Amino acid sequence: MGSIPSDVCNLVLIGSASRREFTTLVSWLRQNPAARTVGHFRNVAAAIEAWDGLAAEPDITIVLQSWSDESVQPDVNQLIGKTLFQRLLCCIGPWCESDGRNRNVWPGALCVPVRLAESAIAAALYSIRSGHPSIPPTLANDEVFAHRMAVIQNRPFMSGLPDMNGAVIGPDRVFRQTICSTLRDYGLHSVHLPLMTSRQRIVPGETSRGPVHLVFHDLDPWDELTEYSLTATRQMFPSSIVLGIASMPDAGINAEIGDAQIDVVVPKLDLENGLRWHLKRLLESKRQERLHSYSDSVSR
C-alpha cells in the first residue's frame, strides 16, 4: 500500500453517500483537506471483500447507516477486526438513534449521530495527527464518555463564548461540575445549580457577570422533578437558550419534552461533539443576526 503526507489521513467510506441525510456530511468529507478517500463501498460486506486491494491503508473508516440492522453482525465484527488499530465510526441516521436501547450490532463506542458526525470526525482526524491511540470498541458507556471528553484539552476558545454566561442545572453535582469544566475549556463561564424545586421562590436571575445566555439542563431521569425544574428554569432565565442533555435523545424523550421549550437536546454519550456542534451553530446564528442588524441600520 502507498503512503501520503502524515498531515493527511486516508479514509474509507462505506454506505450510500447519495442519501439525503448524508449529503452534507459527505460533501464536507470530500472537501476536507485533512482526509483523502482511498475507497468507497456500498456496504460493509463489499468493503471487507475489497479490503486487501485498497490503494492505501486507511487511517479512518466511516460507515453511513441509514436504517437499523443495515449491516449484519458477522460483517461488522470483521470490519472491527480489520480496523482495530485505526479509527472506525458508524454515523447513524435519524431513524437509528435509538438503536442503543434494543440493538447492539455496532458498539456504542463507535457510533455517532450523523448530525454530530462532522465534529466527531474532525476530532478523530485531530487525534490521528496528534498520535493519540484509537478508542477500543469494547469500552463501556462511562469509559466512552471519559475518553471523548478528554479530547477537548488544549483546544482554542470558541469565538463569542467568552462574552456570554452559562448555567448548568441537574441533580448530579459531579456531572454539573464536569459540564462547567468543559464549557470553561470552550471559553464559557458557567455556574452550576441543583434542580429547581417547588419550595424555591423563582425570580429572574443573573450571575455576578451579568445575565445568563445559555442554560444546560440535565434531563435524566425524566420525571416530575425534572419537568418542574425546566419550567422554573424558563421563569428564572426567560431570555436564555436552553440545551437539554439526555442519555438517549430519541423520539421518546423528544415527545416528553414537547412542552418544555427546550431548544436542542445533546446526547450525553457524545457530549463533547454535541456541545461543540450545537454551540458552533448557535454562534454562527448570532453572528448572522448581527450582520443583518448592521446591514439594516446602514441601509436606512
Q: Which residues of 229-258 are buried (b: 16+ CB within 10 A; e: fewer)?
A: bbebbbebbeebbbbbbbbbbbeebeeebe
Is residue 294, in this structure, part of any structural domain at all?
Answer: no
Q: Do 27 and 133 sit in the same domain of this protein?
A: yes
Within 13 A of 122's CA, how many CA atoms are on the CB side?
Answer: 15
Q: Do the Cβ atoms of 183 and 190 come closer than 8 Å?
A: yes
pLDDT higher than 70, residue 21: yes
Is residue 209, in this structure, part of any structural domain at all?
Answer: yes
Q: What is the pLDDT of residue 213?
A: 93
Share of the chain above pLDDT 70, in %: 85
Is residue 234, in this structure, part of any structural domain at all?
Answer: yes
Q: Do 178 and 260 sit in the same domain of this protein?
A: yes
- Residue that wins the pLDDT comparison between 196 and 289: 196
* pLDDT bracket for residue 79 (50, 70, 90): very high
Q: What is the pLDDT of residue 3?
A: 43
> Looking at this protein, which amino acid is placed at residue 134?
S
Q: Do 91 and 171 sit in the same domain of this protein?
A: no
Q: What is the pLDDT of residue 5?
A: 45
Mean pLDDT of 27-47: 95
Last residue of a domain, one of 90, 106, 139: 139
DSSP 240: S
- Residue that wins the pLDDT comparison between 94 and 76: 76
* pLDDT bracket for residue 47 (50, 70, 90): very high
pLDDT higher than 80, residue 220: yes
107: its cell numbers: 458498539
CA dihedral 214→284→275→27, nearest 10 degrees, is: 160
DSSP string, 79-134: HHHHTTTSEEEEEE-GGGTTHHHH--SS-GGGEEEGGGHHHHHHHHHHHHHTTPPP
Q: Note the pTM of the prediction, 2 decimals.
A: 0.69
CA dihedral 77→272→6→64, nearest 10 degrees, is: 40
Share of the chain above pLDDT 90, in %: 45
Residue listed under C-alpha cell 448555567: 167
Q: What is the pLDDT of residue 287?
A: 74
Q: What is the pLDDT of residue 51?
A: 96
Its sign, for the CA torsion 187, 191, 192, 193, is negative
Is residue 240, in this structure, part of any structural domain at all?
Answer: yes
Is residue 144, in this structure, part of any structural domain at all?
Answer: no
Q: What is the CATH number of the domain that holds 182?
A: 3.40.50.2300
Is residue 299, in this structure, part of any structural domain at all?
Answer: no
Range of the domain at 18: 9-139
pLDDT higher than 90, residue 74: yes
Q: What is the pLDDT of residue 123?
A: 84
C-alpha angle with apex 158: 287 to 179, nearest 5 degrees?
A: 120
Q: Do 100 and 222 sit in the same domain of this protein?
A: no
Query: What is the C-alpha to C-alpha distance for residues 283 and 214, in angstroms, rounded to an integer?
Result: 11
Mean pLDDT of 100-126: 85
Task: Specify the number of domains making up the chain.
Answer: 2
- Residue that wins the pLDDT comparison between 152 and 178: 178
* pLDDT bracket for residue 195 (50, 70, 90): very high
Is residue 276, in this structure, part of any structural domain at all?
Answer: yes
Mean pLDDT of 71-92: 95
Mean pLDDT of 149-167: 77
Q: Do the Cβ atoms of 252 and 98 come closer than 8 Å?
A: yes
DSSP string, 156-210: PPPTTGGG-EEEEE-S-HHHHHHHHHHHHHHT-EEEEEPPP-TTS-----EETTE
pLDDT higher than 90, residue 73: yes
* pLDDT bracket for residue 12 (50, 70, 90): very high
Mean pLDDT of 162-190: 92
Q: Do 33 and 93 sit in the same domain of this protein?
A: yes
Mean pLDDT of 231-239: 89
Q: Which residues of 18-37 are buried (b: 16+ CB within 10 A; e: fewer)?
A: eeebbeebbeebeebeebbb
Q: Do 179 and 81 sit in the same domain of this protein?
A: no
Q: Do the Cβ atoms of 237 and 260 come closer than 8 Å?
A: no
- Residue that wins the pLDDT comparison between 278 and 47: 47
Per DSSP bridges, beta strands 210-211 and 206-207 are: antiparallel
Q: Do the Cβ atoms of 53 and 28 come closer than 8 Å?
A: no
DSSP 2: B
Q: Do 98 and 198 sit in the same domain of this protein?
A: no
Q: Do 124 and 169 sit in the same domain of this protein?
A: no
